[in-house]
Amino acid sequence: MGNSPVYFISYKTDDKNDGIVRDIFRDLPPGEKHWLDKHAKDVSTKGMRMGIEEADAFLMVLSPKYFESEYCCMEVHRALTLGKPIMPIYNKSEYRSRDALKWIPEELARLKDMVLLPVSSDDFEHMKLELKKIQNTKPQKFKGEVPEKIGKYRFDDRSRKIITVEA
């Protein structure tokens, strides 16, 4: 690793964040092996898990349907299981911070104690300043037990299976 952390970027596609995610990835320090599905060689579940394992920090780009996604929930669970520092982010062009806090499921309520960073796509120069803030903010460790279930999914790390527990 160079001087900056390697990030894994987790987000729900088609939930008003694709542009922001692309901009975050583009403006991260070059030369590092940041993980974003659109640029990853292996986008399978195994590839995602490896990307999280190789990352120094986990960027969680929250949106209304983030915790409805099997893959997002699996990624969060894996990052928590590995003790990865987490940085929750939300798109302030589309949502308010109080909205973003409501999306976090009860089993991850401790995430609400973390710094929730806003990012906006309305003004490119302002967004560049916000992205610098992301790079200069130290991701935080999750304080609490890693839940077996996130949203409607339960995880079996031994078998690496995801089990839907609610319809």
Per residue in 9-46, pLDDT tens?
A: 999 988 877 888 888 888 787 767 887 888 878 778 88
The per-residue pLDDT for 1 is 44
Instruction: Give 13's strand partners.
Output: none
pLDDT at 125 over 80: no
| Most confident of the following: 13-22, 81-90, 110-119 | 81-90
